[in-house]
Structure 1
Amino acid sequence: MPYMTDRQPNDHVLPLHDAPSDTHPADALTYCLRRVGARPLEFTGVELGMAMSFNPELPWWYEFNIFRSDSGFVVSIKRFHVSEDETDYCRAWHFSDLDAAMSALESYDAAQDVPVGRHMPPSDATAAELAATAFQLRAEIAETRAHFASLVGEFLHDLDET
């Protein structure tokens, strides 16, 4: 499974500033985030933070990154799948300030990441089968939202602790 952020590995810790600098820091990298349904988002910057929710008991997990770019801040949210039959994907946005980036991360609705195709009942399904399918889809949406919200909550808690 290919990693969706093309960059050179670097392990520097940088201060979190609200305004990007006019010049590139010495360890700034050029990133190219391949987004689902949109053109790749390319920018030069540094990664400020990352969180991942990998759990070997789940068939999918999230990863999000926050970058300080040369013209603001970038948030990327990726969903990976264990199965090679599923497609991994990335969503990413550019923001002018850190508050807007953090707000977007906190308000992201993970329900849009739940694939509906596998919940489609056959055309001759009974009312009971349709109801069961709807309950199953609602449960998966609730689980996905809770999973992502938990990841963001842990990340924000860890920021408060440092």
Structure 2
Amino acid sequence: MATSRTDPVTLEVVELIGAVVARYHQEYEHAASEHSLTGAQARVLGLLSLEPVAMRKIAEKLKCEPSNVTGIVDRLESRGLVERRPDPADRRVKLAAPTPEGLDTARRLRESLDFAREPLGQLTAVERTLLRDLLRRMLGEDVPEDAPPRPTSR
């Protein structure tokens, strides 16, 4: 079922998503600056806190040029937050990985982001799961098979 781009509900949803994104970026930039990081540096550090990542993959995930990622990783490395390591699967590839101090900084940064946690905390677990699944669907991602059943619209 196709939705018209001028459908009032669609227009309102687009505006609300834009407002959420703007507030998220504003708080993320503020939280990053509290840790003497730029927003881009904080995003890279957050990504690396999950697992070491090849420079090319970082650029793909952040939708930016690899040369930008090199500069960001250079600055994080000079602060002792990130290190470069050879990829065990292909020693020609360099992985960026957080140092223990980088992991600690990423954790503190995550903990300081209240914008998303506070409003999401007002939703029930079922509502948060539904929101997650809807966002994944909007992004073309698969919803996990083990996801709890979706609530009915009644």
- Mark yes or no: TM-score above 0.5: no
The alignment's TM-score, normalised by the length of structure 2, stands at 0.28
The alignment's TM-score, normalised by the length of structure 1, stands at 0.27
Of structures 1 and 2, the one with the larger relative CO (CA 8 A, separation 6+) is 2
Which has more helix, going by share of residues?
Answer: 2
